[in-house]
Amino acid sequence: MSDLSPSILITRPQAAAERFEVALRAAGIAVPVTISPLIKIVPTGEIPSLDGVSGVIFTSVSSVEAMADGGLPAWCVGDATAEAARARGWQARAAGGDAEALCERVLADARRGSVKGPLLHLRGRFARGDLSTRLSAAGVPTGEAIVYDQKLCGLSEDAKALLMRENPVIVPLFSPRSAAQFAAEVAQIEVSAPMYVVAMSAAVAAETQDLDAFVLKLLAHPSAAEMIDAVLGLLDASDHVEDR
């Protein structure tokens, strides 16, 4: 590798970060990866009753993992969440990767008669999109239950050291809350590294406005696959394609 070869900093919760690193490696990306979770997932330990519920809504893999195995229809925010739900017995169907697409998918299925009764949104303490209220107002009765918490964490010393070098650092940011925490953490150190930031959505990008990013890329369609493509593109942009 060259002296100024790039690296990747993943700030997702630990399990999600490890899954994303595996996906990066499968895509042929071989540059160093540092994992420094800015959010720690803590299950509440309370499994809500599904009596009277005809289906559930999962907006993250963490919500799937916080539940017992099930067999009900499950509307999932994206492919990774749907895959995790299927592995645990749920009849999972994936939406387009964000809350808007998920809401539209549920309403479209309701119009087709695929939603037979009340739904339950299983989520973390911090969530966006207000799905249960919107779906209920649109004629699909939907409750919600908090099945995990998201505790904020600071950047690790390894992550800080990475950002204080001169080597480019590619930072994929997946959620508005982790993006806001990243911006707050970066503001407390002297960053020397050119930061190539990829935002999963406009809401995520909005939290990075104060970052002194060399490049800020916004995904057109929020998905893990497109995030990987964006990382590949930024490796090209950093002029170290040979280091992949």
- Tokens 């966006």: give the residue: 128
> % helix / strand / coil in the chain, to the nearest 5?
35, 25, 40
Compute how many other C-beta atoms are within 10 angstroms of the C-beta atom of residue 151.
Answer: 12
Q: At what angle do helices 14-26 and 224-237 cross, to 10 degrees?
A: 60
**The predicted structure's pLDDT at residue 221:** 82
| 91, 74 Cβ separation under 8 angstroms | yes
Burial 81-95, CB ≥16 within 10 A → b, else e: bbebbbeeebebbbb
Q: Which are the contacts of 62, defined by CB distance < 8 A and separation ≥ 6? A: 13, 15, 16, 41, 124, 148
Distance CA(81)–CA(92), nearest Å, equals: 9
Within 10 angstroms of residue 4's Cβ, the number of other Cβ atoms is: 15
pLDDT of residue 71: 94
Q: Collect the ranges in the chain with pLDDT lower than 50.
A: 1-2, 240-244
**Count of residues for the chain?**
244
Whole-number Cα distances in Å, 136 to 49, 54, 112, 117, 143? 19, 14, 17, 11, 8
pLDDT (0 to 100) of residue 237: 79
Q: What is the pLDDT of residues 158-178, one digit of tens each?
A: 999 999 999 999 999 999 999
pLDDT at 55: 97
| Selection from 161, 158, 115, 160 nearest residue 138 by Cα | 115
* Contacting residues for 4 by C-beta, under 8 A, at least 6 apart: 166, 167, 168, 240
